[in-house]
Structure 1
Amino acid sequence: MTIARRIAVSMAAVALAGGAAMAMQAQPEQQTNTAQSLALPDNPTLFGAALPPVVKATAIVNGEVITATDVEQRLALVALSNDGQIDTAQLDRLRQQVLRNLIDETLQVQAAAAEEIELTPEEINATVVRVAEQNGRTPDELAEYLAANGSSLRSIRRQVQGEMAWQRLQQAKIESTVSVGDEEVQAVLDRLEASKGTTEYRVAEIYLPATPATDAEVRQTAQNILEQLGQGGSFAAYARQYSQASTAAVGGDLGWVQPGQLPPELAEAVTSLRPGAVSVPIPVAGGYSIIAIQDSRTILTADPRDAVLSLKQVTIGFDPGMSEQAALARVERFSTAAQNVGGCGGADAIAANFGGQVVQSDGVSMRDLPPALQQMMIPMQVGQATQPFGSLDEGVRILVICGRDEQQPGMPSFDQVYNQMNQQRVNSRAQRYLRDLRRDAIIEFR
């Protein structure tokens, strides 16, 4: 899995300072400052690597520079989110979208600064450290990885700074102006009670705003994103890079929603898609949406996938010189032992017999497991082990259920409904606020 796919927290960036200072050393008066005095050869032989090209401005946003390097390094992050595979024919369109994202980030940081909202280097550094740790690297190692793939730690820092600044600006300027009445919350709770037994969905969205003048271009961008998703691209990563909804920072996640809570166009798509599916670009008010159905469940009805498990994992490996036939015979013996594990206490004995490793994990949601394992484990009882799974290269493992707590569904609390409604209204106003920032900005393209 790529670095960009595994980043599940907000990312940060340092605003571009703009401009560079040139240090000039004074020459002694007796020295003639001409090319002739250097006695340069007419056909010099060049050694070493060529200097990088001069970084030129791509856009200047209210006096702040966005360079071609900024664009290319952010584009490289998009490529990483798609395992480095981006159709050459799509690069120019993606590059333009990346530029628009950088312009929006710059406007967001500038608006936050105008409201005296400060982000300290320590806060940004802490986020970078968390990003690196989530990927099993130090910040220096992450920087080397990104540099080797055409990006940089600076590009990540810039993106997170935009996200953090925008979140705090919403808290300061928007959330305080949004209100949700008690009667509105109660109405939602009443509808939930009435809808008991119906289905709700875990939905993620990529929203791209469009005007009549940009409709064709945005529609093509949405289609390009859909094609990249079809080739294995991460929906969450593309939502972070392209979506203009305020949920972009969390990978476009809308949470659990009922079709009736969505615009009619999206509600129709949600009910027609199965979990794991992604919609075509859907025309909605003000632009286009691509939605992904991550999961579904029946409202206020018990679901075995809501169980919380305590597990022991036993993993066995294989000697490099072992033949496939011998390895498969070892797996067969491992499978037989798993069928007679004798509860969680037997997991350690199996590991000792096969020279394997044991890992204990508590509080595991059944829903967080891969779908194939969910289907296998739903009917299993405490003390039983799964059939072996994995690969001969990376190891074969079993999971033993040590504990299983079934979750009884219940009505969401008043506060939970209030918070969801409040966030939806904040999102709507945030989109309008960003639109106003774009309208009032002075942007020069070079």
Structure 2
Amino acid sequence: MTDRFLLSSLALAVALSALPASAQTAFPTPRTPSLSLPAGTGSASSNRTADFIVALVNSEPITNHDVRQRLRQVEQNIAQRNIANAPPRAELARQVLEQLINERAQIQFATESGVRVSESDIDQTEQNIAAQNQLGREEFRRRLASEGIELNRFRAELRQQMLLQRVREREVDSRLRVSDADVDDYLREQQNGNDITSLELNLSHVLVSVPENASEAQVAERQARAQRVADRARAGEDFATLAREFSDAPERVNGGQFGWRQATRLPDLFVNSTRALAPGAIAGPVRSLAGFHVLKLNDKRGGGLPDMTVTQTRVSHILLRPGPQLTQQAAQARLNEFRQRIASGQASFEALARENSQDGSAAGGGALGWASPGMFVPEFEQAMNGLQPGQVSEPVVSRFGVHLIRVDERRTVPLDERERRERVRGVVREQKLEEALALWARDVRARAYVEIREEPQL
């Protein structure tokens, strides 16, 4: 089992929503637990320095070993994504430390706020990892051990990431409101030709942050610094170099690059400042609550009328619910047998569903009818979306049990008025969520006591 496999497995297990990049803590690492180094990794020197404290967050230590573990994961991610012009390893280590500090502060906030993750929650997450990788739980644990990943550390990392997700959902996601007036304003802009639903921008930026409650003199000094960056960028200096030298944003590790993003997933300030520019142009400095931004438009595409259609799937399934008389592994084995019988023509999907499915759809041969995106739980929908009409999935584990899924047909239909407004509501919500998460993360960090003890030793 490769490191790539482990990283994708953990991402599936934690099942985090796609958070906007500004809510992430340092740079584009997978939102997964950091992995323990395999046993025997490292020199005698690295073992000697592995456990000294590099920082305290509200009296909780972050060790050099913590930094080295996360750094290894980041470097793997950089290699996998072919990120060019990565900074020196020492700078990456400093960025990793900043990421760990922010995460630790948020986890402490979650714990103090009463957010909890039970052992049964972690058990279910671990089972989902194993099932989604076509492994039984015990086999998955053996594979982890073969990679040098201790089970207790693995489960502790899952707990932390689930805590982070839950506290972000409670403190930010659940408090966001999109009113009918917001939807009407967006639709009015669309009718006036200002719709950005299909616009994609490739941006880079430099953030010169402004501390909360900064004095007028501090604000003026930060604005002047941002202006100097903008002037140098317009004069032709390499923007990536400027970002790594001056930016306070997480993206500085990538030379300030966001990469391609839908305009709806960028702050309005960024979109409004750059959408009319030609590729290569510089915008700013522009002011936000975080500070002063200098933006470079690397490229853009799209920007026409939004697609107000939806692809629906007509789908059927056979559901087995694990319990005292049927383990999850046995349910998977039984559904695998059904799949083989269907493929060989020995039985029909409909007949097996009527005889065996533990779902209300059994009487109709497992038919669930036409489904729009979002109607099913993520595990089911992900598997369904990967099938072509007529294909039958391998067993899929969800919170409801174990499914055998067949896609029968697909069609594209126009959205009705209610669906159209709900789609717009989701677009507006994503715009608001980007900034809200960034502000919340900054506030949590500002309230934490952070002491940097020593530079990480690599």
TM-score by length of 2: 0.48
Which has the higher Rg, Structure 1 or Structure 2?
Answer: 1
